[in-house]
Each structure stands twice: as structure tokens, then as C-alpha cells.
Structure 1
Amino acid sequence: MDVSLTLWVLTIIGLGILIGADFLIGRKPHDVSIKEAGTWTVVWIVLAVLFGLGLLFTGNGQASQEFFAGFITEKSLSVDNLFVFVLIMAKFSVPSHLQQRVLLIGVLIALVLRAVFIAAGAAIITTFSWVFYIFGAFLIYTAWKLIQEARKDEDEEEFEENRLLKSIEKKFGVADRYHGTKLFIRNNGKRVLTPLMVVMLAIGTTDVLFALDSIPAIFGLTQDPYIVFTANAFALMGLRQLYFLIGGLLKKLVHLSYGLSVILGFIGVKLVLHALHESGVHVPQISIPVSLGVICGVLVVTTITSLIASKKQAAAEAAAEETEIVDA
């Protein structure tokens, strides 16, 4: 897709306006209701759909298909990120009325960092076509790791601060309690971070780790930097509302990691086939419509099986509690 500098500028300005509107709406700390989260989740999804249809109506059907495939993939991977966000909120005991502010700034940091990753990835792919082998192998390895992690006991899950976050805390110091929406305070004449700032940095920098698999994944669906960036932007911008909307549902998506591992493994194979094709080897290519169908199909099956498994587990736990009451 041939994207002019003007279109890039207009797109970034448009996204900036949307982010600014989102910030103004959520500027006052408050507990986000299900109604509010649901309304804005729908708004962000509708905006993404309109953008994809806009690409289609301008005569670029291929770009439209690539955008939708990338958006759905990034959105599903973002849902997996929410599990870690829940752990971060719990570790730092973030007050409920401040969580929406944490997510807003944290996601904004993540978007900026991902833009850097996308620019670097596009430059590498343009210069070295063999990097598709590395991306493909990495995604297949990540898919296997996801399966291994899914088998672990959920009780063992705990967020661990990365080295960058630890070094920042050590250098600047951290206040012993939250001070509203303040990010810095003066403590004995020294400027220190508030726990709110630490949590924002934790979410923003942790997302970089997720970008290590999500960015190669979307480059497996499209090599167009414009589509990669916009798909990531729309997937991330609705993440804050999605956190509050499906926060209680996350525990029921017990098979999500398995579904994501299948998707990442599939895209990894697609990348390897593409790399072989670029090297002159006659191998079948996986089209975008097929990729889109596989991604959507896996997510639908994963969601259905997760809800069925969760329902059976809840019934089993209820039966066990009744047995204990009778025995007592």
C-alpha cells in the first residue's frame, strides 16, 4: 500500500485526537462501570471497523483484509496481556478509582514503544528478507512456551518487576503510599516517584515484552508498516475499557493461551513458508483470507470451550461444597 507522508500525518493527528478525547473523558479518577466500559469498547471496535471499511471503499481490498486480520490478532493477544495487567494492579494494590488512569497512561507508553518496534521491524524486513525465518521460528517457539505456561498452576502466577523498572525505583525512590493522581512528590526535600507512576511504567514497559511476539505476528500477516501501526493502535486504544468490561471474564477464558499458541504457531509457519518462497523455493503460500478465517475460527472455538470448561468447573466446585456441608 502506497502511503503518502500526508496520509501518515493525518492518521497520526486523527489518532492523537481520539487519544486526547479518551483522556479527557477519563481524566477524573472514578470507578469505571460495566455500562461505561461496554459503551466505549463498542465505540473503539466500531472505529476500527470503519477504518478497515474505509480502506476497502478506497479500492484497497488487500489492505482492508490485512488490517482486519492484524487487528483481530493484536486484539486477541492484547486480551492475554490483561491477565498480566490484573497481576500488576494486585501487586501494587492500585485503588479502583485510579486504575483507569493507570491504564490510560500505561497504554499510551506502550503505543509509543510499539511504534519504535514497528519502525525497526519494517527497516529490518526491507533490508534482510531472511529475517522472516527468525520471526517464524520465534513465533513457533513462543507458541510452545504459551502451552507450557498454560499448564502451570494459576496460583503460582505473580508479577515480577523487570530490571528497568527496578533500576528506576532504585534511582528515584518511591513514596510509601498513593497521592491521588500525582506522579512525583517531594519527600524530605527529594523528588520521588509515587506508586502510581511506578505502576504506569510497569504496564508500559511490560507491554514491550508482549510486543516481541505480537509485532512479528502481525508482520506475518502484512509487511505494510502503515497497516501494522494502525492495527496495533486500534487494538491498544480500546484496551483500557476492555480491562474493566471483561475483568471478571478473564478467569473463565481458561483455554485462551492454547488458542493464542495455535494462532502464533500458524503465523510462524506462514512466515517460514513466505521466507522459503522469497528464497526461490516453490512452496504453498497462505493467503490473508485463509489466515483471517483460521484466526477467527480458533478464537471462537477457544472461547466456547473455555466457557464450557469454566461452567463444568464451577458446577464441580459447587457440588464439592455441598458434599462438605452434608458431611459436616
Structure 2
Amino acid sequence: MGATPLAWTLAVSLIVALLLFDYFFHVRKEHIPTLKESAIWSALYVGIAIAFGFLVWIFGGTQMGVEYFAGYITEKALSVDNLFVFLLLLTSFKVPRAGQQKALLFGIVFSIFARTGFIFVGAALLNAFSALFYVFGLFLIVTAGRLLAEDDEDDDADNVVVRLAKKFIPATDHYDHDKLFTIENGKKVMTPMMIVMVAIGGTDIMFALDSIPAIFGLTQNVFIVFTATTFSLLGLRQLYFLLDGLLDRLVYLKYGLAAILGFIGVKLILHALHENNLPFINQGEHVAVVEVPTYLSLGVIVAILVVTVVGSLVSPAGKALTVLGNLKRHSHEYLNKNFTDDPVERARLWAKILDNEDKLKTIDRKYFGSEGDVWELEQLLRRVWDDHARYERATDYTR
């Protein structure tokens, strides 16, 4: 199992305590988290994960420590990619801003349970069939290629999990704050919040098909795989609100993730060749190949992420797509009357819309897309301004 029973007990207890704390002290009372709150708690969760890694390093040795940090950084990077899909899901379902926290937390808890099952099943299969390293390696390489070929306009919010959830979970069309059930026509019915939670959790399981093989490519220590994966998911809710407005700017993230998955895929195949027992490869004998040490894997992963993030933040394309993406998203949120009934939140959205409209004037025309895209944006902004004018008149009338 990769660690002593005491280490497992302490790790699981810490994870459960953090989840309970997150629910009772932050999510249970519906509210819209501020940027300061999200930043503080995101930093705290990352700090806890790093501190746990140093404890692993001290008590488990250098090898376990390096494996933990390599796994944690890889899974954290992949979890940021999850946030793009979470954003699509929450926007697609028009989840009220104040209710998004609960949807995210329950979806994350669901995915932790599911990934834990994947981890133990994967570990058992790898122990029984070492040839699976070939399968995992090829799968990651194919996944890397799929990421590179992926169309940015693909609507990941309409995946099979979402369609099944909509089909088999009977729910009303209206939210009742962040409640899972409400009373409609005298009957107790489910709200769309239940579908959103299932969709987030189920979609994250699909992401696990990429992330679990990736971390097994860095370590086969089940304790390290479990803790690194779980700590990368803890704090994902806070990170979502912290990165609000920056996600669209990471335009080169998918290329970095593709490079990481491809690198780990090659590493897995090299390891499979080194441990080979398939009769049709080198007559069932081990193949003398160079294996990539974990510390080198850690360095490569960090370097790829630094280049990817810095390149995204400083590039003209990244800046342009940030403005365009945020302007569209905030406009749709402003027009959605169910998104928020909080005047402060409406004022925040309006300020962001005005700010991004000013920035829009500095963007090169080539980043605007086709003439149809420009026309759709103009129509959207016209609707927003008309809606704001009606809101201002209604506000003045009630004063």
C-alpha cells in the first residue's frame, strides 16, 4: 500500500477534516466568495499540500518526496484544465453565482471517491498485469494528440454525462438558491442543482481516465498516488473563483498538458520495455532502455508548465482572448436573471463589462473571429446595454 497504516490513517483523517471544514465554514451558508477570500484559502490549501509533501519527504525518503511533488504538480495542472469544463457546465446550466460553491464542492467530493476507486483498481491491475504499462503509455500519447487536435469551439458542457443526467434525473427548471429540493405546485421536487453536481462529478471521472494513468507513470506507490491526486482536488473550488477571468487567458495550456501527457506516456512505455515479459517483444526478455528518473520528470513537468503559463500571459493572443471570453461570459451572466439577485453582484458584473469593453478597443481586429462572430458580439452587447438601462430605470423608480 506504499505506507504504514498510521500514515494512511493520518492522511485520510486530514483530508476528511479539510472537506468538512470547507463545507461547514464556507459552503453551508450560501454566499459569493470574494477574490481575497478565494486567494487566502487557495494559498492555504496549496500550503497544506506542500507541507504534507515535505512530511512525506522527511519520513518516507527522498524518492517518495520527489514522486509526491511530481504527481501533485502534474495532477494540479490537469485539474486547472478541469476548471475550463466546470466553467462551461456552470454557465450552461445557468447556476446562480452564490450557489456555485456547493455544486463545485459536492462534485469534487464525488470525484474524490470515484478516483480513489480507480486508483486501487489500477494498482491491482498493474501488479497483476505489468503489460498494462504499455496500454497506459499509449493511451496517454493518444490523449496528448487528441488535446492538440481538439477544436477550441467544442462544447464540452454537452458531454455524455450531462445528457444522461438530464435524461434520468427529473428536476424542475428553476433554482431555489443552492437547495437540492424545492416545493413546486405543492410537491417536493429536485432542482437543477442536483443535475449540476452529478454532471461535475461525472465529468471529472472522465478526466480521471487521463490523470490516473499519468500519475501512475510517475509512481506506482498507491499512497503517493492517492494523496497527490486528492490534495490536487482539494482547494479546486477556491481556485475556480480565484482564476475567474484568467482561465480564458491560458491559451497555450492545452499544449503544455499535451506535452506533459506525451512525456509521461513515453516514460511509461520505456518502463514497460524495461520490465517487459511479453513473449512477442524481445522474446519475453527485458529490453535495455534508458528509464527517466523521477527527479528529471519533476523538472521537465515544472519547466513545461512555466513556459506554457508565461507564454499565455504575455502573448497578444492570450490577452485578446481573455477580454473577448470574459466580455461574453459576464454579459450572459448579467442577462441571466437567475444568476444573481444581488445588486452588489450586478454592479460587479457591470463594472467588468465596462472594463472589458474599454480593453476591446485595444485588441487587434484579427482576434475578433469571423464577421458572424463580430455581429453576435455586437448584438449581445446591445442587449446588455438595453437590459442595464431597464434595470437602472426600475431601480430609480423603487427608490
Tell me whether the two structures share a fold, i.e. TM-score over 0.5: yes
**Pairs within 5 Å for 1:82-231:** 82-149=83-150, 152-154=151-153, 156-163=154-161, 165-187=162-184, 191-231=188-228
Change (3 A) 1:4 1:179: same
1:255 maps to 2:252: yes
Task: Find the aligned partners of 1:96 and 1:62 in 2 and give their Cα distance.
Answer: 43
Residue 332 of structure 2 is matched in structure 1 by: none
Q: Which residue identity lines up with residue 87 of structure 1 in the other structure?
A: L
Q: Which residue identity lines up with residue 212 of structure 1 in the other structure?
A: L
What TM-score results when the alignment is normalised by the length of structure 2?
A: 0.76
Task: Find the aligned partners of 1:44 and 1:319 in 2 and give their Cα distance.
Answer: 36
Change (3 A) 1:307 1:317: farther
Change (3 A) 1:108 1:313: closer
Task: Find the aligned partners of 2:227 and 2:318 in 1 and give their Cα distance.
Answer: 39
Residue 60 of structure 1 is matched in structure 2 by: 61
Q: Which residue identity lines up with residue 174 of structure 1 in the other structure?
A: A
Q: Percent identity?
A: 47
Change (3 A) 1:239 1:172: closer
CA RMSD of aligned residues (A): 1.9
Task: Find the aligned partners of 2:360 and 2:181 in 1 and give their Cα distance.
Answer: 48
Task: Find the aligned partners of 1:8 and 1:218 in 2 and give their Cα distance.
Answer: 19
SS at match of 2:101: helix
Change (3 A) 1:184 1:63: same
SS at match of 2:3: coil
Shift of 1:189: 6.8
Shift of 1:307: 1.2
Change (3 A) 1:122 1:56: same
**Pairs within 5 Å for 1:66-81:** 66-81=67-82
Q: 2:238 aligns with which of 241, 244, 258?
A: 241
Change (3 A) 1:29 1:298: same
SS at match of 1:58: helix
1:48 maps to 2:49: yes
Q: Deviations over 1:9-33 (max 9, x none)?
A: 2321221011111111212111111
What TM-score results when the alignment is normalised by the length of structure 1?
A: 0.91
Runs of at least 4 residues off by over 3 Å: 165-172, 185-192, 310-317
Change (3 A) 1:246 1:310: farther
1:4 maps to 2:10: no
The question of whether the paired residues in 2 share the 8 Å contact of 1:252 and 1:310 is answered with no
Q: How many residue pairs were aligned? A: 317
Change (3 A) 1:275 1:177: same
The question of whether the paired residues in 1 share the 8 Å contact of 2:2 and 2:224 is answered with no
Change (3 A) 1:179 1:51: same
Residue 290 of structure 1 is matched in structure 2 by: 296
Task: Find the aligned partners of 2:114 and 2:57 in 1 and give their Cα distance.
Answer: 29
Q: Which residue identity lines up with residue 195 of structure 2 in the other structure?
A: V
Shift of 1:3: 1.6
SS at match of 1:192: strand
Q: Which residue identity lines up with residue 64 of structure 1 in the other structure?
A: G
Shift of 1:106: 0.8
Task: Find the aligned partners of 1:169 and 1:132 in 2 and give their Cα distance.
Answer: 36
Residue 299 of structure 1 is matched in structure 2 by: 305
